[in-house]
Structure 1
Amino acid sequence: MIDTHAHLHFPQFDEDREEIIRECENKLDAVITVGGDLEDSKKAVELAMSSRKIYASVGIHPHEAKNYSEKDYDRIVEISKSSPKVVALGEMGLDFYRNLSSKEKQYEIFEMQIEAARELNLPVIIHSRNAGKETASFIRTKFKGIKGVLHCFSGDKELLKAALDEGLYISYAGIVTYPKNSELRETLKYVPSSRLLIETDSPYLAPQPVRGKRNKPAYVAYVAMTIAKELGLSFLDIDRMTSLNAKRLFGLSLTEEEKKERLAYTVGNKLYVNLTSKCPCSCKFCFRGKEDFILGYNLNLRREPIPEEYMYRIKNPGIYDEIVFCGYGEPFERFDVLKKVAEWIRKMGGKHLRVDTCGLGYLITGRENILDELKGLIDTFNVSVNASAPEEYYEIVRPKFGSGSWESLLKFIKDAKRKGFKVIISAVNYPGFNEKAFIDLANRLQVDFKIRNFKRFGKWEE
């Protein structure tokens, strides 16, 4: 687990800093101690040099902007280059709550640090308080090619949209655990798994179970537990996802296991089987081509493994609540492998097999007997329809088969239901999605439906 934002060099830790650092080294993978001005950043760098698991950022907080000017640009660069343990610039940004520096000065120093990050090729850590609209506008106009994280996200939807559109990460701190912050927890559903981070902002903002105490990096586990509960995932899922995301953003070394392309992977107690990276659809909302790492796994296969490789990795399929053929691409692109692996899973005691599909199996395989071949192997088809009418379907899903795809999709759904499979149709509630019409379609087809939250992997308009 990685605490992506702490202030271990602050005086609140003077009395027991060595003890806190030992705890970090024993319980966490890494901690980033974040600078607030240039002298403070030097202390952060010095502390990072003393421990293998502590890293530092160099930055000027908006409160301190009044004490700096563009003449300090070279100092930022110099301090950042002073140690390989510097992994980011920040925290920087806009704070119109206390206004300890003028707005003009805050903008000036924010932009200066963005230019330094561009030169140094480092990600940035962004602070925004009572300045959501202004920070969103700044990100949209100044962040081309800049990586970074919106730290201690507080729930501003316009800011969330701008950050995700520009490829930034979103970090949640202890405030997400506070009972009154249900609206903040709701925003978790819209953040892609590949962009989620966790932090403490210690010594401040202690999570609810230890509220009122001095915060410390180990308490990041409480943040992870709250997020896991909200998203219906396990604590280990959140640990895996956020740790990998932090390493990717801040340039920390990935383990060989983290780098590995995943043929099979677990989420909770479900096993997912990733057969291919190919898909006949190019859905406007899809992560394919934008992200390789989803749910803490590298899912973009550069080759197509043989069935025996899946059998070797799955080993004991009977231990899982459900086994789902779903990954980076469309399972029916490798129908023969799907069938062979499913047969082996059944033989080895696997239960509750599901295929998540675009529903174009007939067109992909050129055959209409495929459902008969899967009888007794697959229990459920979750068909990603993502539309309620042909016009909407072709605009959003964009199947390569063109005209006739909608009709083939509906035939697959009807045939699967008639042949005794459980069928669920699903959709993403992207901007402009007609939820009522989609539910009406499910009712006409007499199948269950599921509507998934839209997650921004880039500007929807583009």
Structure 2
Amino acid sequence: MLVDSHCHLDRLDLSAHGGSLDAALDAARAAGVGHFLCIGVSAENADAVKALAERYEDVDCSVGVHPLDLAADAEPALDWLLESLDHPRVVAIGETGLDYHYEPEAAELQQRAFRLHLQAAKVTAKPVIVHTREARADTLELLREAALTQAGVLHCFTEDWPMAKAALDMGFYISLSGIVTFRNADALRDVARKVPADRLLVETDAPYLAPVPHRGKANLPQYVREVAQFIAEVRGERFETLAEQTTTNFRRLFPLSRA
């Protein structure tokens, strides 16, 4: 069994499945995907991801505000976040973090919001899902500052081994997406080889970042199998071994999940 540890089921392009989310999930299940973590990115979609987790037994969700979904004149309130997290199907916080690639001018706002999510993680003891892009030093600094007692994950990891090692040293997991299959992703494949087996997750980040040979098309949860197969090959492991290990890792990281 595989777990798609990070997907946006409320944003999928379902044209390949006749507009049916049921059909898309069935296609993933047929590919060996037994569980899905549907990710919150804003206050506006929190109810949507909760509804999906309530509708499907093999779907859990997270709640949070993505750094690129922050309003310039506002930031999420801790009271709102804690209230939203108080739901039996919400197993994690996020995604949250820092993205200076698209909005370097919003660094201060992003840092305040990230700190707020990390504070909520301390209060609830739920794991945090971290998005980071071109913000290595600040991401690591804020994670060290938070000193969380529970693990979290750097999702859709695209940075280098030194950053991965620093996060691993703080107890975090590393999740790899279809980007690892891209032709120019040699540094990321190096990370894939080095991450300890018990700290690795796989994901699609669907509908974004479809793996080769689907690159350029809308991503779907069923493609997490291709991501996992590719990583297993890079690591010199059997696919079945990697699938079992990453599923075990998911259950350990997200103990409230129904996976």
What is the TM-score of this pair, normalised by structure 1? 0.52
Over aligned residue pairs, what C-alpha RMSD do you find? 1.9
Quick one: distance in 2 between partners of 1:218 and 1:140?
A: 35
For 2:35 and 2:175, how far apart are their aligned partners in 1? Answer: 15
1:226 aligns with 2:227: no
**Separation of aligned partners in 2, 1:186 and 1:158:** 11
Which stretches of structure 1, 4 residues or more, deviate above 6 A after TM superposition?
none
Q: Superposed, which structure 2 residues align to 1:8-47 within 5 Å?
A: 8-10=9-11, 12-13=13-14, 15-26=19-30, 27-47=32-52
Q: 1:49 is matched with which residue?
A: 54
Q: Which residue of 1 aligns with 2:149?
A: 145
Using the alignment, how far apart are the partners of 1:252 and 1:179 within structure 2? 36
Give the whole-Å Cα distance in 2 for the aligned partners of 1:239 and 1:252: 20
Q: Is the CA contact (8 Å cut-off) linking 2:200 and 2:246 kept in structure 1?
A: yes
Q: What's the offset of the Cα at 1:153?
A: 0.7
Alignment of 1:297-308 (within 5 A): none
Please name the residue that 2:6 is paired with: 5
Matched, 1:133 2:134: no
Whole-angstrom distance in 2 between the partners of 1:59 and 1:86: 10
Q: 1: CA distance between counterparts of 2:94 and 2:195?
A: 22
SS in 2 for 1:245: helix
Deviation string 1:273-309 (CA, Å, 9 cap, x unpaired) is xxxxxxxxxxxxxxxxxxxxxxxxxxxxxxxxxxxxx
Say whether 1:180 aligns with 2:187.
no
How far 1:66 moved relative to its partner?
2.9
Query: Structure 1 residues 29, 101: closer, same or farther in 2, change over 3 A?
Result: farther
Corresponding residue to 1:69 among 72, 75, 99: 75
Aligned ranges 1:24-423 → 2 under 5 Å: 24-26=28-30, 27-66=32-71, 68-69=74-75, 72-81=77-86, 83-99=87-103, 102-252=106-256
State the secondary structure of the residue aligned to 1:115. helix
Is the contact between residue 121 and residue 148 of structure 2 (CA under 8 Å) also seen in structure 1?
no
Whether the 8 Å CA contact 2:7–2:221 is kept in 1: the answer is yes
2:105 and 2:54 map into 1 onto residues whose CA distance is 31
Q: Are 1:61 and 1:92, in contact at CA under 8 Å, matched by a contact in 2?
A: yes
CA drift of 1:11 comes to 5.8
* Contact 2:157 2:174 (C-alpha < 8 Å) held by counterparts: yes
8 Å Cα contact 1:63-1:101 kept in structure 2: no
Equivalent residue letter for 2:62: S
Cα gap change, 1:240 to 1:96, in 2 (>3 Å): same
1:64–1:101 CA contact under 8 A, matched in 2: no
- Letter aligned with residue 80 of structure 2: R
Helix, strand or coil: the match of 1:69?
coil
Q: Which residue of 2 aligns with 1:324?
A: none
Is contact 2:89-2:257 (8 Å) kept?
no
Counterpart Cα distance in 1 of 2:212 and 2:136: 25
Deviation at 1:18, TM superposition (A): 2.3
Secondary structure of the corresponding residue to residue 71 of structure 2: helix
Deviation at 1:251, TM superposition (A): 1.0
2:50 and 2:105 map into 1 onto residues whose CA distance is 25
Q: Which runs of 5+ in 2 are unaligned?
A: none
Distance 1:247 1:154 in 2: 23
C-alpha displacement at 1:101, in angstroms? 6.5
Bigger-Rg structure (1/2): 1
Q: Quick one: structure 1 residues 101 and 42, their matched pair in 2 at CA, closer, same or farther if it must change by over 3 Å? A: farther
- Distance in 2 (alpha carbons) for counterparts of 1:37 and 1:233: 37
Structure 1: state its 5+ residue gaps.
Answer: 256-462
Matched length: 253
Identity across the alignment (%): 37
